Amino acid sequence: MTFVLNFKLAIRQGVYLSKFTEISQYNMPPIFHRKALPLVLLGLGFILIATSIYFILRDTEPQLQVSTVPAKVNFPTPDLTLNDIEGNPHSLTDYRGQVVLVNLWATWCPPCKAEMPTLQTFYDKYKEQDFIIIAINDGDPTSDVLQFVKDYELTFPVWLDPTYIATEKAFNTLNLPTSFVIDRSGGIQLTWVGAISAETLEKYVTPLITEPS
């Protein structure tokens, strides 16, 4: 009874550690010893750090694994002419008769970076079947684009759009990456926002490439 009263009095006075030695006399676990407290707090700190790392990794990993799903659409290809990284002008109408995947992207965009190897692999697989990817950069300096193309070893055409014509006018979007698939007759059949997986490309884009002309 005396111990309970003393402990309550200590709590009222804001002294939370002064009675730990007395508690141990009543066969309380050693974890409550005053000398053990720093070790306990240190252990809790490590647990909190490990938990934080786990949730950070858990939240970021699905962004690389989950693929966006294309939406089926049907509207004409906009009249768009831009220069490639070598300064040569090109128009989307130049590719009539081919299946064209237009990818709007930027060097600072994480999902754009994440999907580039996937797009390159898909292009390598189907480029001999009148399929082409046109990656239109959204306003980055030419030097940054050239370094990006080199770093990611891109072999499909890359166009420069320093004044945001493709995003703000031709395709009317502010999202990056955004992609559109144009069929052989010049109509846009698919569109999606975000990084896409190889499996999803095969499921939705490959049928447009392999269907009879």
Q: At 143, is the pLDDT very low, low, confident or very high (cuts 50, 70, 90)?
A: very high
**Top CATH class, 68-210:** alpha beta
Cα 189 from Cα 120, distance rounded (Å): 21
Of 65-74, 118-127, 174-183, 187-196, the one with minimum mean pLDDT is 65-74
DSSP annotation of 78: P
What is the average pLDDT across 196-212? 96
Task: Say if CB 100 and CB 134 are below 8 A apart.
Answer: yes
Q: Could you read off the pLDDT of 1-28 as tens digits, one per residue?
A: 444 444 343 433 333 333 333 434 445 4
Name the residue with higher pLDDT: 30 or 119. Answer: 119
Between strands 99-105 and 178-182, the pairing is antiparallel
Tell me the C-alpha to C-alpha distance, in Å, between residue 67 and each of 71, 160, 172, 188. 13, 26, 23, 20
Tell me the whole-structure pTM to 2 decimals: 0.70
Could you give the angle at which helices 110-126 and 37-65 cross, rounded to 10 degrees? 40
Task: Say if CB 104 and CB 173 are below 8 A apart.
Answer: yes
Cα 149 from Cα 137, distance rounded (Å): 11
Bridge partners, residue 191, by sequence: 71, 180
SS3 152: helix
SS3 144: helix
Q: Could you read off the pLDDT of 163-187 as tens digits, one per residue?
A: 999 999 999 999 999 999 999 999 9
Instruction: Give domain limits for the chain.
Output: 2-64, 68-210
pLDDT at 89 exceeding the cut of 70: yes
